[in-house]
Structures are given as C-alpha cells and as structure tokens.
Amino acid sequence: MLVLGLQGSPRKKGNTRFLLDRFLEASAGIGARTVMVDASRRNILPCRELTACERKGFCPLRDDMEDDIYALITEADVIVVATPVFFYNMTAQLKALIDRCQVFWARKYRFKLKEPGIAQRKGFLLSVGASRGKQLFEAIELSTRYFFDAVSAEYGGSLTYRGVENVGDLAVHKTVEKEVEKAVERIVKPLTMRKRIIFACRENACRSQMAAAFARYLGGDKIDAISAGSKPVEKVNPVMQAVMAEKGIDLAFARPRSLDKTIDVHRPEMIVTMGCESACPNIEGVETINWDLPDPAGQSKPVMQEVCTEIEKRIRVLTQQNK
C-alpha cells in the first residue's frame, strides 16, 4: 500500500513541503508506506515531443522517470500532487514530471492497456498560493485532474490554502493539521483495511508478477497485493509483459523486488508462494499457501500463456473468497 507524494515546490522547507509532509506522516501513521518524489531535486527532463510514447508506448529520454518514478506511479494506490501556485499554475518542475506521464496516457488510450491498480488508485491535490483570488487553484486543478486520468487515478479532492506566502506561513495555520487528517482518513484509510497478500516466487519476473497484477486488477478494492522474489532479477520477463498485455493489463513499468525487504515493509496477512523453493518464507501466524505452478521463464510463449491463464483462474477464486 503505497502513498506517493509528488512535491513541486523548489523550496526545501516551504509551505507545500509542510503540507505534503503532514499528509504522508498521517498516512504512515495508519500503516501506509510513503514515498516523496521531490521534483526540483530529481533529474527530470522536460518532454521533447518525440512522440515515441504514442507510437511505441515508451519514452526514449533517460532520467529519473525511467529509473524509478514511472515504477512508483504504477505501484501507488494514492498519488498526491503537491504544488505552490506559480503564475496561476503548478511549478515547472512538477509540470515536467507530469508531461512525461504522457506515456501513461498513450498506453491507456492508444494501446488500450489498463493499469493493474486501476480499481482502487486515488489522486489527491494539495496546493498553496499567496493571493486570495477566487480562481487561484483552477488551472492547477484542471491539469491535475487530467494527469490523474492519464495515470488511472480517481480524483479524490483537494486541500488548498490561500494567503500563504512566506516559509512557515502554513505551519501556523489553525486548521490545516485537522483537515489533512480528515482527508487521509477518507482517502487512505479504506485502502489500509484491505487484506495484505504477498505473492512470491524466485525471480519476481513472471509468476508472482502476474499473480499480484491480477489480484490488484480483479480484487484491488479488497486485496492489497504485492509481489516479490527470493532472488529478484534486474528486469521482469518481456514475454510475461507481452502475455499480460494480451489480457489488457499493463506491466510495462513493473520491477522485481526482494522478498525479504518486501516482508519488512509490507507485513502480510497472507503469502502465496509459487516456486521460491527453499527460500519460501514461513512466518509464524501468517497464512501461507503454495501454488504448484511450472516456471515459464525461458519457455515458449504458449507456456507463458498457459501459466498466465492458470494464475488468472486461481486469482479469481482467491478474490471471490476474500470479498
């Protein structure tokens, strides 16, 4: 369960940062994992309109988007856009990040692929501005809504503060902390109540990736699914990605992750293992199921398709049992 904050202010300790920190702290306080991406301090190239994303589904620019930001967006259950008003819009740094998400737009609308997290992903906007004009946040809200649509997040509302100019202004605001807590309670809390399941295999390149993606896609409102591997490889299997794309599910930005680390940050209520062999975890008090599934890595595409269909079938049963 990841709450991802996209921080747009260039100030290190500015009002936006104060607001986003409160949101992320309150989320962590109720059990969510939180990550903040500070757009000003990351290497994010502005979109060069090469249109490769619309033709090929990928952005050829190499920077932090490719390194981890696309993967974080894909993993997130809640995406928080946080920005000060700069000339009645968001900051250029945050806008660069958002423009580079055209690749999500292309994969969704041109390639007709669905994000596994589509059923439950929420978006929330935090913003501050110095003046008090009625339309102060209108442009930011419109851009943010359009961004949320591209990354398949349902717009869950906003908290915006006028008359906030100097560093520290928001820290003395009387109602902000209560309002953030209320928003977190409404947006984040229901997602922390889902059953936490880890799907584990050895490399986290094929079987467990497919299982977690189906679990999110088919039962993400009830199941908080994540996958991991006892010996994670560098990249997920491209044949697996192609087979999942045939099912309409997009795993373009999925990354293998370590089982040990995942268990630490994502304490599960259930573990479904499928071939992590002697390294399969056995945690006291945690329900563990073993699925006997052949390893499709290095096999032909039909073998991958067969394993994929079998996993989908099992996930349909699992999600029914956990409704």
Ligand X SMILES: Cc1cc2nc3c(=O)[nH]c(=O)nc-3n(C[C@H](O)[C@H](O)[C@H](O)COP(=O)(O)O)c2cc1C
Stretch that binds ligand X, among 11-19, 42-50, 69-77, 222-230 (CB under 6 A): 11-19
Sole binder of ligand X in the list 84, 123, 268, 296 (CB under 6 A): 84
Stretch that binds ligand X, among 8-16, 71-79, 238-246, 269-277 (CB under 6 A): 8-16
11 near ligand X, judged by CB under 6 A: yes
CB 78 within 8 A of CB 84: no
Stretch that binds ligand X, among 42-50, 81-89, 188-196, 265-273 (CB under 6 A): 81-89
Residue 143 CB, shortest distance to ligand X, in Å, is: 14
Q: How does strand 270-273 pair with strand 154-161?
A: unpaired
Stretch that binds ligand X, among 7-15, 26-34, 196-204, 303-311 (CB under 6 A): 7-15
What is the spatial distance between Cα 186 and Cα 157, in angstroms, rounded to a whole number? 10
Sole binder of ligand X in the list 85, 125, 210, 243 (CB under 6 A): 85
Quick one: which H or E segment has residue 82?
strand 78-84
Sole binder of ligand X in the list 9, 144, 208, 237 (CB under 6 A): 9
Toward ligand X, which CB reaches closer, 14 or 296? 14
Residue 160 CB, shortest distance to ligand X, in Å, is: 11
Place of tokens 């669905």: 114
131 near ligand X, judged by CB under 6 A: yes
Toward ligand X, which CB reaches closer, 14 or 256? 14
35 near ligand X, judged by CB under 6 A: no
Toward ligand X, which CB reaches closer, 140 or 213? 140
Q: Return all residues near 240 (Cβ < 8 A) that are at least 6 apart.
A: 205, 206, 209, 210, 251, 296, 304, 308
Residue 19 CB, shortest distance to ligand X, in Å, is: 8
Stretch that binds ligand X, among 14-22, 41-49, 285-293, 303-311 (CB under 6 A): 14-22
Closest residue to ligand X, judged by C-beta, is 14
- Long-range CB pairs of 8-12 (<8 Å, 24+ gap) are 8/39, 8/40, 8/81, 8/82, 8/83, 8/84, 8/90, 8/91, 8/93, 8/94, 9/40, 9/82, 9/83, 9/84, 9/91, 10/40, 10/91, 10/93, 11/84, 11/167
What is the spatial distance between Cα 233 and Cα 276, in angstroms, rounded to a whole number? 13
88 near ligand X, judged by CB under 6 A: yes
Sole binder of ligand X in the list 1, 3, 5, 14 (CB under 6 A): 14
User: Looking only at residues 137 through 166 of this chain, which bind ligand X when binding is defined by CB under 6 A?
Assistant: 164-165
Q: How many Cα atoms within 13 Å fall on the side-chain side of residue 34?
A: 21
Sole binder of ligand X in the list 44, 59, 128, 243 (CB under 6 A): 128
Stretch that binds ligand X, among 25-33, 82-90, 302-310, 315-323 (CB under 6 A): 82-90
Q: Return all residues near 89 (Cβ < 8 A) that are at least 6 apart.
A: 95, 139, 140, 143
93 near ligand X, judged by CB under 6 A: no
Residue 181 CB, shortest distance to ligand X, in Å, is: 20
What is the spatial distance between Cα 263 and Cα 283, in angstroms, rounded to a whole number? 10
Token output for 13: 């300790």
Token output for 287: 């329900």
Other beta carbons within 10 Å of 142? 11
Instruction: Calculate the CA 239 to chain-centre distance.
Output: 23
Rule CB under 6 A: which residues touch ligand X? 9, 11, 14-16, 84-88, 128-131, 136, 164-165, 167
